[in-house]
Amino acid sequence: MLVGAALLLAPVAVPAVLLTSSPAWAEGSELAKSELAKAEQAYSALDYPAANAAASTALQRGDLTHDELVRATRILALSSVALDKPAAAKDAFVLLLTYDPTYTVDARLGPRYREPFNEAKGFWSSQSSKPGMETQVMVSARAPGSIRVTTRDPTSVVKRVIVSYRWAPAKNFVQAAAKTGDSHVDVPAAPAGATRLDYFVRAEDSNGSVVFENGSANAPRFGVVQAENASGGAAKENKSVFASPIFWVVTGVLVAGAATTIALVATQGGDTSTVVSNRWTPSLRCGGGARCE
């Protein structure tokens, strides 16, 4: 599923809104956190009705981080199986595989757990696309750039996409709401002396929980403007074969992968920009840091 050609389609641009301070992304609402803790404790105690109810409440309250969203959905799926609700379990497993495509049922669990899980896997196998999010950033010292976001969401779980960026060393982020599907946010040219654009992207469900994410306020992704030579133009080794107008270059888009690709794009006048492509890669850790099963 690799793509190695210039992408000429123009995604939809959306306006940005300045934030007066760095966005304080919540680590999940306290009420939802409390319900998630109850769900995990009840499930460990084999109290499946209480676990199921608490997990449902946590998901409805929302404002969950991606990790919390996965954990709550996992408890909902497994407790639904234990309560002999295979249809509800399958639906929860479909959502769980949306949030964490690498999830597998513990081999120690019996066939009644594997059956709804395998049905959920079959559902995703029949879809023409798999859930995920890709970001591609073009930054420039002389001209405006873009942060392009592509969300693949066959079941329409994602309701809004938030893009935040700043030119380092600025502390404040600029925030913009991108459209689901394929869209981009315009980024101004780098201010004098700035060479690094920090950014992060969140795709949220209807309750404000994080379905996909790429970076965070505390650990943002970044794109770097290429240095120019003494004559004011880009160094020769950094020049691209592409001329103006700017082309998006996609060097390797995968359905799910951990790679980051960087391609150089030339603009008229000798300026050199950088395109940074990132794909959201699921990473799930439970309370103690171990991978959840």
Residues 226 and 111 in one domain: no
Question: Tell me, what amino acid is at 143?
Answer: A
pLDDT tens-digit profile of 209-235?
999 999 999 999 999 886 554 444 443
Render 208-269 in DSSP notation, one character per residue: S-EEEEE--SSS-EEEEPPPB-TTSSBPGGG--S--SSP-EE-S---SS---EEEEEEE-TT
Domain encompassing residue 209: 6-24+130-279
> CA 215 to CA 278: how far, in whole Å?
10
Q: What is the mean pLDDT of the chain?
A: 76
> CA 194 to CA 209: how far, in whole Å?
33
Angstrom CA distances, 106 to 75, 185, 268, 286, 293, stand at: 13, 41, 56, 15, 6
Establish if 111 belongs to a structural domain.
yes
Residues 120 and 172 in one domain: no
Tokens standing for 285?
A: 């850790």
Segment 174-193 shows an average pLDDT of 92
Residues 158 and 14 in one domain: yes
Boundary residue ending a domain (125, 143, 169): 125
> CA 4 to CA 250: how far, in whole Å?
6
Q: Which of 138, 111, 126, 112 is nearest to 240 (CA)?
A: 138
pLDDT tens-digit profile of 146-163?
999 999 999 999 999 999
> CA 112 to CA 162: how far, in whole Å?
39
Q: Which of 19, 1, 61 is nearest to 37 (CA)?
A: 61
Instruction: Tell me the three state secondary structure of residue 159.
Output: coil
pLDDT tens-digit profile of 22-34?
343 444 478 899 9
Q: Is the pLDDT of residue 257 over 90?
A: no
pTM of the entire predicted model: 0.70
Boundary residue ending a domain (106, 125, 144): 125
CB-based contact 75:43 (threshold 8 Å): yes
Boundary residue ending a domain (99, 125, 151): 125
User: First and final CA of the chain: distance in angstroms?
Assistant: 28
> CA 257 to CA 35: how far, in whole Å?
32
Establish if 138 belongs to a structural domain.
yes
> CA 223 to CA 233: how far, in whole Å?
19
